[in-house]
Structure 1
Amino acid sequence: MQKVLNSKKLGYDLLFTLQKANFINLEELQRFFQDLPVDPYIKGNYRRRRLSRFSITDGKVVKLPHGRLFQSKEYNPVVGDIQREFHEIDDALVVHEDFTRLLFAFNDACKLYSDSREIGVHQIRTTCSATNFGNPAPEGIHRDGTDLIAIFSIGRNNVQGGETHLYRSKKESPVFNKTLNPGELLLLNDREFFHYTTPVKPLNDETDGTRDVFVLTCPSLLS
């Protein structure tokens, strides 16, 4: 990761940092967002998603066995306390050099700020239309229950909104708010911040809009 745009740290513990990932070819990765299955746990069919977990072993990306995602109601009041199961990330994407670069970069941060060596990768497309706005965070202002989170913007097509906010407390104003442009990566300490992303709607009502992101977590929350 390079070209730090905005960074705040306190001692050894990372708070958050916004960076430009110039080492990733976005066009190469965005084509893998075209066939994402619908997230069956969210009403409205506006969110599409794949999920896999990985480790970096002996300098190589290792895809770990299929697992189910679990968060308690404390962290996810909408779909907490249930085992969620998603389709795995496409094998062709797993071995793509730009995808592995992303995992190596995130793993470097994990080694500094987490005891876990297991990475969860959520590949998410949020869609919207004139009659069905998309909500990237239906659970509202929340934490995920991990140590470290990275939100990496891959693409925005015919959308407005989708602004990411960070909060010290749910009752306070955000300490950070920005629409992540393609190529920008927000790394944050999930122990220190709540986060939220505002709904998206189309710029042009005649065409559906899409917002594509990778969300990486450490630990993965899969079992």
Structure 2
Amino acid sequence: MDTEGARCVDVVRAQGFCFVHGDAMRTTLSGVGGLEDWLAFAGSWEALGPDPYLARTGRARKRRHAVFSAARNGAVVRAPHQPHFQTTEYNALQGDIERWFDPVTDAVADGACLQTILRYCVGFFGALAPDVERWKVEVHQFRIEARPGEAGEPTPEGVHRDGVDYVLVLMIDRRNIESGTTTIHLADGTELGSFTLRDAFDAALVDDARVFHGVTAVTALDPTEPAHRDVLVVTLKRG
């Protein structure tokens, strides 16, 4: 792990979260593996499917989902496609239902970028939990669109925990939008910090067992033009 990675481990250990600027994050990831397919990786957000479950609440979001299994010192292996499930304790809006989303494509799952990001997550969060032998890793590609007269909601469930151990949120692309500020809170609502993922590779590293997080709604700077916020979310749970 490089110096920046070690610093971030200490920060997460101390306060439960860490914001990493894109340049530093890209350098750290490059030390783990290749990123040569970044343009194709980022371009895959153009082919996300709708979130039919959120549509039932009158909201809009696009996404794809995949599950992997990762040994502490071994390979990251994709698991059979399966639903995403959270209890109402963690998702009052959509809890206690099995949600099936379009799968992450094989090209993305097997590509250099995602494999590098997954190896990084296993190494980074593994340093915070060295007793864990195996992780269940879930990958979510999200696109939040801001439409004329309608703000996009990155976290429609509000300030929340995901019900996992650790979370990486990585900015992929942010186009023609304002706001989208991430806030970190204690269980009693006390705000610990805030930051905005603006540039590619900007990242949030979160100890989900300790802190809550939310993201403010996004609106279009120019309502006549397309506006979106694309992020990759990777969660790790003791498996």
In the superposition, the TM-score normalised over structure 1's length comes to 0.88
1:33 matched to which residue of 2? 45
Q: Check 1:96–1:67 CA distance in 2 against 1; reply closer, same or farther (3 A cut).
A: same
1:91 aligns with 2:110: no
Gaps of 5+ in 2: none
Identity of aligned residues (%): 29
SS at structure 1 position matched to 2:49: coil
SS at structure 1 position matched to 2:92: coil
Q: CA deviation at 1:7?
A: 4.6
Report Cα offsets for 1:135-189 as digits up to 9, x if no partner: 01010010111110111111101111111110013532x2111111221111110
Alpha carbon RMSD of aligned pairs, Å? 2.5
Hey, which of these two has a bigger chunk of strand by percent?
1
| 1:2–1:21 CA contact under 8 A, matched in 2 | no
Report Cα offsets for 1:113-153 as digits up to 9, x if no partner: 34341210011010111122110101001011111011111
Gaps of 5+ in 1: none
Q: Quick one: which amino acid aligns to residue 46 of structure 1?
A: A
1:124 aligns with 2:124: no
- Which of 179, 187, 204 is the aligned partner of 1:186? 204
Partners of 1:163 and 1:148 in 2: CA distance: 20
Q: CA deviation at 1:10?
A: 7.3
1:177 aligns with 2:177: no
Q: Quick one: which amino acid aligns to residue 167 of structure 2?
A: I
Q: How many residues align?
A: 220
Q: CA deviation at 1:95?
A: 1.3
1:200 matched to which residue of 2? 218
In the TM superposition, 1:67-146 aligns within 5 A as 67-114=82-129, 115=132, 116-146=134-164
Q: Check 1:51–1:220 CA distance in 2 against 1; reply closer, same or farther (3 A cut).
A: farther
Higher deviation after alignment, 76-85 or 53-62? 53-62
- Which of 156, 159, 173 is the aligned partner of 1:155? 173
2:64 matched to which residue of 1? 50
Hey, which of these two has a bigger chunk of helix by percent?
2
Q: Check 1:176–1:70 CA distance in 2 against 1; reply closer, same or farther (3 A cut).
A: same
Q: Quick one: which amino acid aligns to residue 219 of structure 2?
A: K
Q: CA deviation at 1:14?
A: 7.0
